[in-house]
Structure 1
Amino acid sequence: MNLRTLRVFVEVVRQGGFSQAAEVVSLTQSSVSKAVRTLEDELGTPLLNRIGHKSELTAAGEIAYRRALVLLAERNDLIAEINELRDLKGGTLRIGLPPVGSGVLFAEMFATYRSRYPMVNIELIEHGSKKLCECLEAGEVDLAALLIPIDETFAYQEVRNEPLVVVLPSAHSLSRRKRMNFSDLADSPFILFDEGFALNALIMAACDRRGIVPRVTARSGQIDFIADLVAAGLGVAFLPRMLAQKHKHAGIALVPLEEPHTDWNIALAWRAGAHLPPAAMAWLDLAKELR
């Protein structure tokens, strides 16, 4: 049983005959008759009583007609919903973002996206990089903002590349330096982000290349708190330049970090080979536009 056959049958009933229905569905009268016979053979019972040039429903035909109307209406609703999804008049954007830097990077994007696609529902989760990768692998989100390098199981589109700066207490002996590397900071205690934040891995890998084992005195997931801990003299921290400048205050100094392979290079990632819904594709297009 197919929907095309059901539509022919419904039109025969609506139009009161085969020749009239043939005009509506753009088929020959013999094709219309064959379609109805096929449906009757499939159901194992006559659906129409042929009386001259007119046709009347049998009891089974009444049931088939009522059910066919429902199925055809569902088909039309299905097409309308798919079209709405394609035209972004519906659907859901499921995106995962890290707590660090998302406001600076994505707040404007969210506002623009919402103004363009007000009918799209946005589901946002915030986690560190490790948890975001797990959510992406599990299909819980369509897109996630991750730091490069990114596992080869994911495809990605770059969003922003920022160098790191060293955040020091204003009174620190190195606070007036033009630039520095991790060797200069070998004796300074470090303040890092919480476990699971990808930025920590960049910092620790660079220290390892220098043969330095830093002494970590504190960890936090909040940039404001990290800046305050630095100002209080607890240690030095490392932030992407755009975030450090946003949180700069009188108690801290910012010095560029001259260290290879430590840039904060953030991208939007998705499962390689996965079908991205239109809402996610529109987000990627907007990210490219605003980059």
Structure 2
Amino acid sequence: MDINTLRLFIAVVREGGFSQAAKAVLSTQSTVSKAVKRLEDELGLVLIDRAAPGITLTDAGNVVLRRARTILAERDDLLVELRELRGLKRGELRLGLPPIGSDTLFAPAFVAFRDRYPGIGIHLIERGCQDLQDLLRAGEIDLAGLLLPLSDEFAWQDVCVEPVVAVVAAGHPLAARRSVPITAFADSAFLLFETGFSLNQIVLAACRRNGFMPKVTARSTQVEFLFDLIAAGLGIGFLPRMMVETRQHDGIRAIALDGPGMLWHMTLAWRRGGYLSDAAKAWLELARRPD
């Protein structure tokens, strides 16, 4: 069993297929398939149920996935720590950020980090918060921008807390209201982000608390495109207040939402007990939320 085989197995699970994993790791589907088969042969156990749709892990597969992530994370910690002990002057910060709000929140930190630490490269991955949690568990990134609540496996530092607002077309009957309960939109079409974005869970949890489940008619990963759909009257969107205030779009209006629980609480998170590089610590200091 070698490290590369474990990486390929994790990639197959994360990407949802052999061909997708091959593209992600810049290899061929045949190489990835053979590596996973060698791993199964070595262990004497089937890890992936080929008869099931998609990538369905067996019980043994789930055990190997969990242990493989830990092994790779510990190996990466070892290599990083040893490089720093040798006095390495150059390095890399592996940073995972969600597409929603990162331009507003973290752009100043990018500029300051580059000015202070020109020898440290930043490898940036943009994914939804749920995918970023998986990458963080596997040790594939050092820090991730994640929304609360988080499990105890992660430590975190505050970045920003913003209320979530409803975003409607300028001509919507409620557009002139300063605030409304989320139940005012119970019969409306909802426009959400793609699956894997934690903002969706904030919105859906608020709907459940208020006794309804919304009709979701479209999803996107792009804020500007979502604004265009809202302005065209295709549905209601939900975003952190600052993201609406920092963008100009004449066709939309933001409405505050009455009631508790509609908060977008962004953090920078890392594996609790994992090794935190000097580059990661420097980034945390630059991005620290003012008291």
Q: Tell me whether the two structures share a fold, i.e. TM-score over 0.5.
A: yes
Structure 1 residue identity aligned to 2:177: R
- Structure 1 CA distance, aligned partners of 2:137 and 2:218? 31
Q: Are residues 1:120 and 2:120 paired?
A: yes
Q: What is the SS of the residue equivalent to 1:112?
A: helix
- SS of 1:140 mapped into structure 2: coil
Deviation at 1:93, TM superposition (A): 0.8
Code of the aligned partner of 1:203: V
Alignment correspondent of 1:246: 246
Q: Cα deviations across residues 205-248 of structure 1 (Å, max 9, x unaligned)?
A: 11000001111111001000000000000011011011011224
Correspondence list, 1:124-203, <5 A? 124-203=124-203
Q: Give distance in 1, aligned partners of 2:266 and 2:259.
A: 18
Matches of 2:83 and 2:140 in 1, distance apart? Answer: 26
Contact 2:166 2:238 in 1 (8 A): yes
Give me the identity figure in percent. Answer: 48
For the 8 Å contact 1:206–1:259, the answer to whether it is kept is no
2:237 aligns with 237
Q: Distance in 2 between matches of 1:190 and 1:148?
A: 23
Retained in 1: the 8 A contact 2:159–2:289? no
RMSD: 1.8
CA distance in 1, matches of 2:106, 2:86: 28
Partner Cα distance (1:288, 1:223) in 2 = 25
What letter matches 1:278 in structure 2? D
Please name the residue that 1:58 is paired with. Answer: none
Q: Which runs of 5+ in 1 are unaligned?
A: 1-77
CA distance in 2, matches of 1:246, 1:79: 43
In the alignment, is the contact (CA less than 8 A) between 1:166 and 1:255 conserved in 2?
yes
- What TM-score comes out, normalization by structure 1 length? 0.69
For 1:98 and 1:125, locate their aligned partners in 2 and report how far apart those are by CA, in whole Å.
8
TM normalised by structure 2 equals 0.69
SS for the counterpart of 2:287 is helix
Q: Which has the larger radius of gyration?
A: 1
C-alpha distance after superposition, 1:2-27 (max 9, x if no partner):
xxxxxxxxxxxxxxxxxxxxxxxxxx
Q: Letter of the aligned partner of 1:175 in structure 2?
A: A
The one-letter code matched in structure 1 to 2:262 is T
Q: Which residue number in structure 2 is paired with residue 205 of structure 1?
A: 205
Give how far 1:79 is off: 9.7
Q: Distance in 2 between matches of 1:173 and 1:262?
A: 22
**Which residues in structure 2 correspond to 1:12-161 (within 5 Å)?**
82=85, 84-85=87-88, 89-161=89-161
Task: Indicate conservation of the 8 Å contact 2:189/2:235, yes or no.
Answer: yes
Q: What's the counterpart of residue 282 of structure 1?
A: 282
Cα 1:188–1:79 shift into 2, 3 Å: closer
Name the SS of the counterpart of 1:288 in structure 2: coil
Q: What secondary structure does 2:225 align onto?
A: helix
Instruction: State the Cα distance separating 1:81 from its structure 2 match.
Output: 6.1
User: CA–CA distance in 2 between the matches of 1:289 and 1:213?
Assistant: 35
Preserved contact between residue 227 and residue 247 of structure 1 (Cα < 8 Å): no
Counterpart-to-counterpart distance in 1, 2:82 and 2:97: 33
Answer whether contact 2:229 2:235 (CA < 8 A) is retained.
yes
Q: CA deviation at 1:185?
A: 1.1
What is the number of equivalent residue pairs in this alignment?
211
* Distance in structure 1 (CA, Å) of the matches to 2:247 and 2:82: 50
